Structure 1
Amino acid sequence: MMDDEYFLAAIRLATGQDPIPGHVSAAAREAFALRVPHAVTALPTGYTPARGVRGSEWPQLVRFVTDGLTFDLEVTIGDGLLDVAGQICPPPGEGCHVDVRTPHLTLTRHLAPTGHFAATGLPPGWLSVVCHRPGRAPIQTRWVRVRP
């Protein structure tokens, strides 16, 4: 059985009488600003804890895969900040770069001929990597949350 207050609140929402809270609208705008138009999303295939380290959860290894590209990321935490070492296979070639992103910070790195890159000093939390290739759609990893 539905109580009267819940029912009246539902009617107010349906008729537009109850505005969306400002913080909800702001969060939606921030999330929309993080999108990469026309990007293909690489999906995670799994997390692997570090080998040979007892009781340690670091570094974390994660692989993202999409048609034609694989992202291997190794994330470590030191002094409360994230360091990311990565490789894209096969190497996407000349003129390519990656953006290592958090919701509030983006670090752009040029890829080595082997597809390797690194970014240090990122805040913990949400993380994504975007590979930009001249003349082709960007490839982005799905956002992952990294906590110390």
Structure 2
Amino acid sequence: MIDDEYLLAALRIASGHDPIPAHVSATARDLYSLRLAHAVTAAPVQCAATRGVRGAEGPRVVRFATDDLLFDLEVTIGDGLIDLTGRVSPYPGQDSTVDIRTPHLTVTRIPAPGGQFAATGLPPGWFSVVCHRPGHRPVATRWVRIRP
């Protein structure tokens, strides 16, 4: 049987006398710093042209889209690291940049006139690609987890 004193003690513990572990707070701050204010999110879409083209051992193709930009990303895993090649279409413009982001690293590339870009030797795990165009809001893919 639960008495009043036991109930009051339980309520005191639940009301904040049990602090949040430091690693939980640190992880929350790290994740919050990865957000891009005012960015447009490119959602994953089916890519019928590449479905079934690659074997399980070969590169993986992922496509993301918004109303005005398309990201085609090809991920290759080798020696425990990730190589990412991609294309933004239509071509985002001469002064545009593409960021390939992981939780701990951002690699910035200037897309070629056809919209192509690449980064090699990325750590496995979570990544997102962001296109920055002058005069437009950034466009970011959703975070995707790639494991070897």
TM superposition score category, shorter chain reference: 0.7 to 0.9
Higher-Rg member (1/2): 2
> What displacement does 1:50 show?
5.9
Alignment pair present for 1:60 and 2:85: no
CA 19–42 in structure 1, closer or farther in 2 if over 3 Å, else same:
same
Q: Larger % of strand: which?
A: 1
Residue in 2 aligned with 1:24?
24
Gaps of at least 5 residues in structure 1 are none
Residue in 2 aligned with 1:111?
111
Q: Is the contact made by 1:98 and 1:131 (CA closer than 8 Å) also made in structure 2?
A: yes
Residue in 2 aligned with 1:120?
120
Residue in 2 aligned with 1:73?
73
Could you tell me how far apart the structure 2 residues matched to 1:76 and 1:52 are? 11
Alignment pair present for 1:98 and 2:110: no
Residue in 1 aligned with 2:53?
51
CA deviation string 1:57-109 (max 9, x = no partner)? 43111000112011000000111110001001111111001000111111100
TM-score, scaled relative to structure 1: 0.86
Greater CA drift, 102-111 or 38-47: 38-47
**RMSD value over aligned CA atoms?**
2.1
Residue in 1 aligned with 2:3?
none
Q: Is the contact made by 1:49 and 1:57 (CA closer than 8 Å) also made in structure 2?
A: no
Q: Is the contact made by 2:54 and 2:60 (CA closer than 8 Å) also made in structure 1?
A: no
Gaps of at least 5 residues in structure 2 are 1-5
Q: Structure 1 segments of 4 or more deviating over 2 A? A: 10-13, 46-50
